Amino acid sequence: MAVCVIIYHENEPGPPSWGNGHTTIGIFADALNSDHFIYSMNVKFSVTTPDPHALLLLDVHPDFIKLYNLETKNIYELGTEKHEAYFEARGLDQPKNCSLQLLLFWTLFDQNDYDHQVTVSLECVYFDGASYRKVSMQISLEVLTG
């Protein structure tokens, strides 16, 4: 999985900033299992510290979700300090490989005087011939006042 900060906008009018700052984040994940099949790939976006000054918005427009050998199962597009945003996908026809690409907007509502942290978690479930196994990884991103 790769998490790429694409751009940061300061005091951007209109959504997704509404006059504040926001960061556009790209998520790129690939899975390959040459012996068995990929069952699912799920991505969760969590504000990991209590942060009333931030909001996560998963872009659900079809132009910004790219799936290969996967189909969308569930999406919760708004992440706050009380609820994580997530994207869940299932494999199509027991694929040996699959990938997904997503865009996330991380809007910051403070005056650059508050530290922020978000954790992006990827969970890939595959079938090994006898049972379902899970591989997971987390990447943390921070914006510090510093």
Residue count (the chain): 146
Residue-by-residue DSSP string for the chain: -EEEEEEEESS--STTTTTSEEEEEEEEEEEE-SSSEEEEEEEEEEE-S--TTEEEEE---GGG-EEESEEEEEEE-EE-SSS-EEEEEEESSS-SEEEEEEEEEEEE-SSS-S-EEEEEEEEEEEE-SSSEEEEEEEEEEEE---
**Per-residue confidence (pLDDT) for residue 18, from 0 to 100:** 62
**Per-residue confidence (pLDDT) for residue 144, from 0 to 100:** 81
Give mean pLDDT, residues 36-56: 86
Q: What tokens appear for 50 in the block?
A: 């209590």
Location of structure tokens 């994580």: 84
Give mean pLDDT, residues 15-24: 70
Q: What is the pLDDT of residues 93-126, one digit of tens each?
A: 999 999 999 999 888 887 777 788 889 999 999 9
CA distances from 115 to 86, 103, 139 (A): 23, 22, 17
pTM (2 d.p.): 0.87
Q: What confidence category does residue 69 fall into, taking pLDDT thresholds of 50, 70 and 90? A: very high
With a cut of 70, say whether residue 41 has pLDDT above it: yes
Q: What tokens appear for 118 in the block?
A: 């978000």
Q: What is the mean pLDDT of the chain?
A: 87
Question: Where is pLDDT greater, at 34 or 68?
Answer: 68
Beta strand 78-79 with 116-127: parallel, antiparallel or unpaired? unpaired
In this structure, which amino acid lies at residue 94? Answer: Q
Q: What is the pLDDT of residues 70-87, one digit of tens each?
A: 999 999 998 888 889 999
Q: Of all residues in the chain, what percent carry a pLDDT higher than 90?
A: 49
CB proximity list for 126: less than 8 A, separation 6 or greater: 31, 33, 36, 37, 38, 39, 132, 133, 135
CA dist., res. 79 & res. 124, Å (int): 21
